[in-house]
Amino acid sequence: MKLPTSDYDKPNVRRLLAALHHQESDRVPHIELWVTSQAVYEYVLERKLDYTIGDAAEGGQSIAPEDDVEFATRQGEDAVLCNFNWRPNNVFRLASDGTRHYVDGEIKGRQDLGKLDPPPNLDDQLNYLERYLHAAQGTGVGVIANFTSFFDSTMLAIGVNDSFMMFYDDLPFLEEMMDILLENQVNTMRAVCDRFGDDIALVMVNDDIGYNSGLFIKPDLFMQLFPERMKRLIAPAKKHGLLTLMHTDGKMDNIMPILYDVGFNAAHPIEPESNDIVEVKKAWAGRMALIGNVHTPLLAYGSREEIEAQVRDYCMKLGPGGGWVLGSSTSIMDGVKPENFVTMVEAVHKYGRYGSLEGI
Amino acid sequence: MTDILKTIFESVLVGNKKGVSDGVQQAVDAGVDAGEILNKGLIAAMSEVGRRFEEGEYFVPEMLIAARAMSAGMEIIKPLLVKAGVETIGKVAIGTVKGDLHDIGKNLVGMMMEGAGFEVIDLGVDVTPDRFVEAARSGVNIIAMSALLTTTIPSMEATIKAIEVSNLRDSVRILVGGAPVTQAYAEKIGADGYAADASAAARKALEIVGRS
Ligand code: B1M
């Protein structure tokens, strides 16, 4: 892709922060939380990577920090993610297409706690963040510290199907697992905020709590398990005055008020399958910023014209007043055509222009 | 409904597996017809579970534990149904399509179909067109395909084509669903039916075999 020449094409983390503060800057910002397609990375970087990118969902980092920042710089993406994942005891399998994916968890009950995978070493994680911050210095690219959480990580550690039944079979164990995960992630969050709170752009938590019909579990049970724990997780970030963003899949009408009450400032990706993002923006303008939600089928199968038209329409309807950041719903995975990804990015540079960055 | 059938019905609703197997065993011992236990106890309860799910009263866990309880009851009466020559409504082979490992929705659909009286063969996840063709050849009435990924939906069309090429299209009906699948897409690829959720899928399957 073309290298950025105008300011509109360059990354600027202040543009992202302005939008999250419900302000207009020079243009609508753009971020992608997960790119799991090597082809897209290599297309934008215009070179082959000499390693295979890992899938962030597996707990590792998907691409080297320096390459990630270069990827963002080239396409004017305003921030990148540094992951602080602890997803223990996930079992993976190769699908028939050769890709490796989660299929089950190993922790089937209290008796299995002895074999719980240890969390990643904190110093190693902090050093990795430092590498990200170093690479991003002077580029305009912000670094978002992204944390796995306690709800879906518990379900994945147990096995998603089994964990659903465990809400009835052994709720105390489920809560114990959540607390083990939470405790570690709170400590990690605290360490990140203490050491790098002034350097990172914001904090993100990713935890899938819903699907196309809404919450996975009954709201009264969910309220018993989720809000207080989540408040603990993001407390260090709030204390440091950092903005907080939550990723969850699903229909947001019942989820958004919960996230707002917990103290989140923004939500991703407002999946188009189950949400009308224009309506969600109207309902939450000034209170919750939105990141999303260009549909991945469009990016996989749509034409250049269709993608441009979608981004243009979103810029017109969602851009005014800030509070919206363009992104895909949800990840740039294999199957998304690299040219289409670039079309989406170029379209927001073209149609997302407001005024200027002064005063932010 | 007799007290014992009521107990079975209610035990399924709250996912009480032991309650269901005890109730079914008690009913069998008392000489209640296996077909009646199936229809008025287990199937009726699963239909109520489906209704509650569609209306947002039940969530995924309630569905799964109800289905698990129902299966415990089915285990007991299955041999009796076979012995009595009670035929199932039809046979369904269900699977998540090639490249796709999401199985929660597929499991719920399978369970609701079983709860509606179908014999369900679970082909699992990442099911290739060839395996669906094999299932079609084995004499099932319905091929049910689930897909959750944009990139795996095309496998539904590929499977339908493979079934056509194998000259089996007239012997099976094809039902599709999953979060990114739509009625329009189902029509476009020539499926016989689409359903948005598990209980609608069971209803659609009944409709397809002329039992709605
Ligand atoms: C035959 O007739 C019918 C009729 C009706 C049918 C039917 C068949 N099948 C289903 N239905 C219908 O009835 C069911 C009940 O009412 C419903 O089934 P559902 O399956 O919709 O609903 C279930 C009851 C509960 N819902 C679910 O179980 C899906 C929930 C979400 C959050 C989800 C989950 C849990 C998972 N995931 Co995945 N996951 C998402 C989902 C987000 C979402 N909005 O749905 C989705 C589907 N995932 C996605 C992705 C990208 C991925 N996932 C992946 C992995 C996983 C987990 C393993 C972590 C886990 C699955 C665990 C499991 N055992 O299934 C990866 C793929 C792995 C693979 N090859 O399959 C991976 C590629 C992520 C990665 N980079 O590794 C996205 C797909 C995007 C797209 N449009 O293509 C996604 C929408 C999330 C997102 N926002 O990006 C109806 O659709």
Among the partner-chain residues A96, A213, A296, the one whose CB lies closest to the CB of B98 is A96
Range B89-114 average pLDDT:
93
- Sequence-distant (6+) residues with CB within 8 A of A2 are A9
Question: Which pLDDT band holds residue A61 (cuts at 50, 70, 90)?
Answer: low
CA separation for the pair B58, B103 (Å, rounded): 19
CB distance from B179 to chain A under 8 Å? yes
Q: Quick one: pLDDT at residue A356?
A: 52
> Residue A99: which pLDDT band, with cuts at 50, 70 and 90?
confident
Mean pLDDT across chain B: 94
Q: Are A109 and A170 in contact (CB under 8 A)?
A: yes
Show me where the domains of chain A are located. 30-282
Cα-Cα end-to-end distance for chain A: 29
User: Over the stretch B139-153, which tens digit does the pLDDT of each residue have?
Assistant: 999 999 999 998 899
Residue nearest atom 70 in ligand 1 by C-alpha distance: B100
Closest residue on chain B to A161 (Cα): B104
Residue B116, CA atoms < 13 Å, CB-side half-sphere: 28
Farthest-apart Cα atoms in chain B, separation: 53
Q: Is the pLDDT of residue B102 over 60?
A: yes
C-alpha A136/C-alpha A146 separation (Å) is: 16
What is the rounded CA–CA span in Å between residue A75 and residue B87?
62
Interface of B with A in 96-115 (CB under 8 A): 98-101, 103-104, 107
Instruction: Select from A49, A30, A192 the least CA-distant residue to A120.
Output: A192
Question: Do residue B180 and residue A297 have CB atoms under 8 angstroms apart?
Answer: yes
**Using 50, 70 and 90 to split pLDDT, how confident is the model at A213?**
very high
Q: How many CB atoms lie within 10 A of CB B100?
A: 26
DSSP H/E element including A80: strand A79-84
Residue B143 and residue B175 in contact, taking contact as beta carbons nearer than 8 Å? yes
In this prediction, residue B199 carries a pLDDT of: 87
Question: Minimal CA–CA distance to A186: which of A230, A155, A151?
Answer: A230
The 8-class DSSP code of residue A251 comes to: -
Predicted confidence at residue B177, as pLDDT, reads 97
Who contacts A181 (Cβ-Cβ below 8 Å, separation ≥6)? A86, A88, A148, A149, A150, A153, A154, A157
Reduced to 3 states (helix: H, G, I; strand: E, B; else coil), residue A204 is strand
Contact across the interface for A95 and B103, Cβ inside 8 Å: no
Q: Stretch B43-48: mean pLDDT, rounded?
A: 94
State the pLDDT confidence band at A4, using cuts at 50, 70 and 90.
low
Model confidence at A57, pLDDT cuts 50, 70, 90, reads low
Q: Is the pLDDT of residue A56 over 60?
A: no
Q: Please give the full DSSP string across B116-151, using - where no structure is assigned.
A: TT-EEEEEEEEE-HHHHHHHHHTT-SEEEEE---TT
Per-residue pLDDT at A360: 37
Query: Is residue A359 scored above 50 in pLDDT?
Result: no
Phi (first) and psi of residue A81, to 5 degrees: -105, 135
Residue type, A352: G
Q: Where are the beta strands (DSSP E) in B11-118?
A: 91-97
pLDDT of the residue at A55: 61
Query: What domains appear along chain B, each with residue ranges and CATH number?
Result: 3-84 (1.10.1240.10), 91-208 (3.40.50.280)
> What pLDDT shows up at residue A358?
44
pLDDT value for A23 = 96
**ipTM associated with this complex:** 0.91
Span A239-243, average pLDDT: 98
CB within 8 Å of chain B, chain A residues 245-284:
273
pLDDT band at B211 (very low <50, low <70, confident <90, very high): confident
Does domain A30-282 fall into CATH 3.20.20.210? yes
Tokens of A309: 């038209």
A92 touches chain B (CB under 8 A): no
CB A108 within 8 A of CB A162: yes
Its pTM surpasses 0.80: yes
pLDDT, chain A, mean: 94
Under 8 Å between Cβ of A302 and A280: no
Give pLDDT, residue A94.
Answer: 82
pLDDT > 70: what percent of chain A? 95
Chain A contact for B84 (CB, 8 A cutoff): no
- Chain-centre distance for alpha carbon A293: 12
Nearest CA in chain A to B178: A212
A148 C-alpha vs ligand 1 centroid, how far in Å?
19
Chain B residue with minimum CA distance to A272: B180
DSSP annotation string for A320-353: TTS-EEEEEESEE-TTS-HHHHHHHHHHHHHH-B
The set of protein residues with a Cβ atom below 6 angstroms from ligand 1 is A 36, 55, 57, 95, 101-102, 160-161, 208, 211-212, 249-250, 271, 296, 329-331, 333; B 60, 99-106, 108-109, 144-146, 148-151, 175-180, 195, 197-198, 201
pLDDT band at A6 (very low <50, low <70, confident <90, very high): confident
% of chain B surpassing 90 pLDDT: 83
Mean pLDDT of A318-339: 94
Q: Which residue has the tokens 């067109």?
A: B129
pLDDT at A1: 62
Task: Determine which helix (DSSP H) or strand (DSSP E) holds A183, and give its type and residue range.
Answer: helix A171-196
pLDDT digit string, tens, across residues B118-140: 999 999 999 999 999 999 999 99
The mean-pLDDT minimum among A95-99, A116-120, B45-49, B89-93 falls in A95-99
Residue from A270, A328, A333, A336 to probe ligand 1 pocket by mutation (most atoms less than 8 Å from CB): A333
- In single-letter form, the type of residue at position A229 comes to R
Which residues of chain B neighbour A162 with C-beta distances below 8 Å? none
